[in-house]
Structure 1
């Protein structure tokens, strides 16, 4: 699918229809409408007219998109708002996201009252305390605009706890969608948003509803409170939070317990009032709820069970990413599809990403359990805007304004093949890593983030995740809620330096160990129960359970360095002998096993991989070409840089393809090449292969360069099982560190950046990733043959030849809603065939 950005609502029916048809032609199977900020003032000359969000004109365009999508057989989703997080002009200060803050005011000696600051809309006093320090502070009484307390001879401090609004505005909002972010902990605020935004959007779709409504990641910065949190806290936790409010702000002996209970209450409220309410609303209106269920406020891993379609994002496959968060929850709760917001920030800079970059990130997303891609994204662009058209401030571009668009369908075919295969059967992961939610919540603090997944990414020891991956073990995350609801359906449970765990969860872990499951603690076993109430008695129970669990034979305590050695004693790796940088996914089928294996590095690898579920004979499938080779366990496996393959073991496998022997005979194609760069340029002889930007006149050209040559072949040449057109090997790119978000393939490819191959006037296929070759035998004939290689570069070269877009006038009207990323000081990039092609004949 494509995330389809509508900038300022400046969309027109004719172009909407054209772009949907282009999506289909490019291999996309659906789209998600996401209205965002304007990119231009109204400009009749360019055909730009910004349509206010949810106006009749805007909703009419939603209807056009929905109707056209249905007619073309494409799935249509829509974001349940404009920009993110949800909110807008219908959310007043009383319904906006809330937080608590602490104000310190002087309480002079001899006084018994202090005047309080005037309240603004959406503010209220929660409590007040007076003392020489937070440790000895006692409750004060709030009486209107004054705080009352017993006077003392010493100067003290009045600690005032104030509920206020975060005042966060919707980010990247469209025209007319500006306003406060709503309070996701407030059922009334969520209901108001569904009525004001959700209902008109669904009405615009008509009777055939969108496949799903979508919620982006929760980025409600600072949100940690709601109007009725105090009574809800007491009802759920069994004590009044008010006397302990200062323990949230200051570290005391009680802080960890109080903070845990506060975090747990926040997580319950957002689950019930936001996730459950939106899911029920969607179901009642015959659609699904697709959600990126992570971020702030504190949603838990198991909260993903409350949505229909849990989605992740993030290519950090060797860390506890949001992608792994979503896929783990789906595995735990039996949801077969894990989608990902894919390629956000890819190669940092709009139009900079190449098809090889796409493959490199796609592979590491799939290694984390993804089997559906929502590409980020497709910018709507008015037809009269100068090429390459509009783009989002922080995203790759996948529309047909991109110069390498002619190979988009080939890239999408790769993603579709693997998405299909990785939905077959069941995911196999031997290890479950316990997400230390209890420890994370115990460290929450007002003024700092209250995000479980963010804290997990920062605190889960990297050595554990990387050790498992490099050791040949796949894993999921699990939390206490999932242990209680679903049990532990893994061979091994890993407790990563966990201090706190609920006794009722630990009891289930003990039962798992007694039933033969393996429990491994990295660092000391748990010793403390979370929360404040009955903490001592519950902690004694935790310590007793630690002794019981780790007194068993199939339990061990180790550190990061010894983890894999301990694991090996209990369970062999599912993929042995894999070099570092090679990852895998294992799916257990009804009558066999399937492994997706990817080389995530920029160097070739060769190794005799040991598959844990391998039978005597299997097959190796190429998801790029669709070819099938026989495979025997123990055979050396060769993977080019960023190459992937699928290994299948079982019965009734399809017939294998003609193989490409290692001893193939080379047939140089020296001389005779001609090149035309651009549609109207002259065709000139190629004197030496290299970047066409070496010619000053072509430095700022983005588009197609066509290389042609004629080849004479004998009938005996055609007896070879395969004949490969080989564009060369390329090599590792410059060793530069990525700064901030954004994935890319650090590789200098022999074709920059993608090629279509035509033989005797017929399209033979595309070359866009390693190994950079293509079987062209079916299109060759004895005698004279015409080879045509159409090479496409990126739009960066043309953009480098012009000044950056000036948004001064736009910002004067609409404010500063975005900053283009990595789009200044652009330089032309190498383009074309960098090395001389060759034909390679497999020996008959």
Structure 2
């Protein structure tokens, strides 16, 4: 899918344009929420890019879209498919994104898996917390005449046929853009619904209101139940009256019954305004451009915030959930701290700093951290860490290229034939003095990273960078001669390309259906070498607390 995150590569030649949609993704999580199932699973990252060409950084925002839709249990291809003793690259599945221990992507996958674990631990806890239950008029889809076909699938790759131009889709998108959270319900699910303390309770979750979009066909039993819920004090908004009933059995009789029931249906023209007037309020944080999902926890509430914008966000935001304390948790680094808050108009606001590409949990409720969250602002201009840079190749193949001394950072594929064919890990080593100034901390900003990097400062491991933005706050610097080591791992594509150019047959598996992203015969010989290593200028930026 396209994202506006600066530096995130999409590489049109290596992808098939994505056609996922938040409304489509919510079908699975809605069913789980309505029935009280705690896990919502996804076969994840099947065809993000061609084989051997997907970076961890390119997987992260796609993963976040799943989390934001309510999916909280991902499954990955590759790690169980191959005998560890099989000749490189091991045995492959036909789907392209392969998390195999034999491929280079595996080296820094632990950092990626830690992010997944940190997110899923919270997103699997507590209960869903959505305001709106939106009726899914499936009979309208079944009633359509799909080019004469008597068999129709609700396919991900044909959203234009069954979803995008429907009143259901328009109502759902309108609600989410406004800041409402929602689940979908079916005719069967609503039969067990009841009103409890003003909320409409389904088997697994409760909602402040039901919204019924314009419907062509609705079973009488569904309309009767909706009117019963409304009579019992539930908030049920109809955006139109059902026009007919499904099926031909006793049609005239049932149409007469529908006409009678429709006399009790009041159509809501401004359903967003009506919800707000009823104090069913959206989350105004969407005005910042941040995406979110919210869950109820034992302590209070947990918000998962994601910045997929082209810009950084530093703002005080109002949350509908209220609690004694508000803490922030960074699932990428694992850091947690108490947030800055302020009161405005009698309501508490929390300060959030999220750079483009970053995500964060906002925990509302009981105190979870004794330390204050660190908010930073730049101090002075960023300084370049100049060369020379010592480049040594550590592990990978088909052969380890010779070490190099570089005066500028460019793709290692430009160095020589061995480096062009190499897939694996290389280390960049350099030294620098602490810049002048009164900074309290220093932010290491890497240039283009192809594709992930482990950072060591003065012999100590600092962290792994695998997604945008490729930057990390460094521990205390020495005044002189700080030793910086950056271990960069590229993708397996260049080694596969070299293997095919050598003429050696490597597809040593049965019934593999090895195809490219367009389901055509796989041919890596036609690829250009993928840029690898560090490309550009390493910078260090002074920071002070804000």
What range describes the TM-score normalised by the shorter chain of this pair?
0.7 to 0.9
1:461-480 alignment, distance < 5 Å? 461=167, 462-480=169-187
2:368 to 638, 653, 656: 653
2:482 to 766, 775, 785: 785
Separation (CA, whole Å) in 1 of partners of 2:184 and 2:369: 35
Q: Which residue of 1 aligns with 2:446?
A: 727
TM-score, normalisation: structure 2: 0.80
Q: Which residue of 2 aligns with 1:758?
A: 456
Q: 3-state SS of the aligned residue for 2:244?
A: coil
Q: 3-state SS of the aligned residue for 1:510?
A: helix
Separation (CA, whole Å) in 2 of partners of 1:648 and 1:694: 47
Q: Which residue of 1 aligns with 2:294?
A: 586
How far 1:827 sits from its partner (Å)? Answer: 2.1
Aligned length: 495
Q: Residues 448, 805 of structure 1: CA spacing in aligned structure 2 closer, same or farther, 3 A cutoff?
A: farther
How far 1:389 sits from its partner (Å)? Answer: 3.2
Q: Which residue of 1 aligns with 2:530?
A: 829
- Tell me if structure 1 keeps the 8 A contact 2:383–2:540: yes
Is residue 2:493 matched to residue 1:796? yes
Larger radius of gyration: 1
Is residue 2:320 matched to residue 1:622? no
Q: Residues 430, 658 of structure 1: CA spacing in aligned structure 2 closer, same or farther, 3 A cutoff?
A: closer
Is residue 2:269 matched to residue 1:538? no
Q: 3-state SS of the aligned residue for 1:843?
A: strand
How far 1:438 sits from its partner (Å)? Answer: 2.3
1:333 to 28, 32, 35: 35
Q: 3-state SS of the aligned residue for 2:304?
A: strand
Please list the CA deviations of residues 374-415 of structure 1 after superposition, one character each: whole Å capped at 9, or x if unmatched: 113436334565533333222301122222322111100111
How far 1:361 sits from its partner (Å)? Answer: 1.1
Q: 3-state SS of the aligned residue for 2:184?
A: strand
How far 1:583 sits from its partner (Å)? Answer: 1.8
Separation (CA, whole Å) in 1 of partners of 2:81 and 2:510: 19
Q: CA RMSD in A?
A: 3.4
1:14-29 alignment, distance < 5 Å? none
Q: Residues 458, 610 of structure 1: CA spacing in aligned structure 2 closer, same or farther, 3 A cutoff?
A: same
How far 1:696 sits from its partner (Å)? Answer: 4.9
Separation (CA, whole Å) in 1 of partners of 2:385 and 2:311: 26
- Tell me if structure 1 keeps the 8 A contact 2:413–2:421: yes
TM-score, normalisation: structure 1: 0.53
Separation (CA, whole Å) in 1 of partners of 2:225 and 2:155: 24
- Tell me if structure 1 keeps the 8 A contact 2:388–2:430: yes
Q: 3-state SS of the aligned residue for 2:540?
A: strand
- Tell me if structure 1 keeps the 8 A contact 2:457–2:484: yes
Q: Residues 315, 513 of structure 1: CA spacing in aligned structure 2 closer, same or farther, 3 A cutoff?
A: farther
Q: 3-state SS of the aligned residue for 1:340?
A: strand
Q: 3-state SS of the aligned residue for 2:544?
A: coil
Does 469-478 or 577-586 show the bigger shift? 577-586
Separation (CA, whole Å) in 1 of partners of 2:369 and 2:530: 43
Separation (CA, whole Å) in 1 of partners of 2:249 and 2:263: 23
Q: Which residue of 1 aligns with 2:421?
A: 700
1:519 to 236, 245, 251: 236
- Tell me if structure 2 keeps the 8 A contact 1:350–1:396: yes
1:126-525 alignment, distance < 5 Å? 318-321=21-24, 323-346=25-48, 348-378=49-79, 380-382=81-83, 387-443=88-144, 447-451=149-153, 456-457=162-163, 460-461=166-167, 462-487=169-194, 488=200, 489-522=206-239, 524-525=240-241
Q: Which structure carries more relative contact order (alpha carbon 8 Å, separation 6+)?
A: 2
Is residue 2:432 matched to residue 1:711? yes
Please list the CA deviations of residues 700-736 of structure 1 after superposition, one character each: whole Å capped at 9, or x if unmatched: 322112111123459x99x9654332215xxxxxxxx
Please list the CA deviations of residues 541-600 of structure 1 after superposition, one character each: whole Å capped at 9, or x if unmatched: 2233233131xxxx6146xxxx64554444554321425863211112233211001123
Q: 3-state SS of the aligned residue for 1:703?
A: strand
Separation (CA, whole Å) in 2 of partners of 1:327 and 1:669: 47
How far 1:435 sits from its partner (Å)? Answer: 1.1
Q: For structure 1, list consecutive stretches of 5 or more residues without a partner in the other structure.
A: 1-313, 729-749
Q: 3-state SS of the aligned residue for 1:774?
A: strand
How far 1:422 sits from its partner (Å)? Answer: 1.0
Q: Residues 365, 831 of structure 1: CA spacing in aligned structure 2 closer, same or farther, 3 A cutoff?
A: same
Q: 3-state SS of the aligned residue for 2:104?
A: coil
Q: Which residue of 2 aligns with 1:600?
A: 308
How far 1:604 sits from its partner (Å)? Answer: 3.5
Please list the CA deviations of residues 797-826 of structure 1 after superposition, one character each: whole Å capped at 9, or x if unmatched: 222334389999999x98895534354332
Q: Residues 606, 573 of structure 1: CA spacing in aligned structure 2 closer, same or farther, 3 A cutoff?
A: farther
Separation (CA, whole Å) in 2 of partners of 1:625 and 1:784: 27
Q: Which residue of 1 aligns with 2:197?
A: none
Q: Which residue of 2 aligns with 1:122?
A: none
Separation (CA, whole Å) in 2 of partners of 1:807 and 1:772: 37
Separation (CA, whole Å) in 1 of partners of 2:377 and 2:488: 28
Q: For structure 2, list consecutive stretches of 5 or more residues without a partner in the other structure.
A: 1-16, 195-199, 201-205, 342-347
Separation (CA, whole Å) in 1 of partners of 2:480 and 2:142: 74
Is residue 2:405 matched to residue 1:685? yes
- Tell me if structure 2 keeps the 8 A contact 1:640–1:770: no
- Tell me if structure 2 keeps the 8 A contact 1:576–1:610: yes
Please list the CA deviations of residues 646-687 of structure 1 after superposition, one character each: whole Å capped at 9, or x if unmatched: 111112221235625203454532223222245544432322
- Tell me if structure 1 keeps the 8 A contact 2:39–2:71: yes
- Tell me if structure 2 keeps the 8 A contact 1:575–1:609: no
Q: Residues 658, 326 of structure 1: CA spacing in aligned structure 2 closer, same or farther, 3 A cutoff?
A: closer
Q: Residues 598, 676 of structure 1: CA spacing in aligned structure 2 closer, same or farther, 3 A cutoff?
A: same
Q: Residues 834, 810 of structure 1: CA spacing in aligned structure 2 closer, same or farther, 3 A cutoff?
A: closer
Q: Which residue of 2 aligns with 1:556?
A: 268
| Greater share of residues in helix | 1
Does 412-421 or 353-362 show the bigger shift? 353-362
Q: 3-state SS of the aligned residue for 1:433?
A: strand
Q: Residues 568, 695 of structure 1: CA spacing in aligned structure 2 closer, same or farther, 3 A cutoff?
A: farther
Q: Residues 784, 649 of structure 1: CA spacing in aligned structure 2 closer, same or farther, 3 A cutoff?
A: same
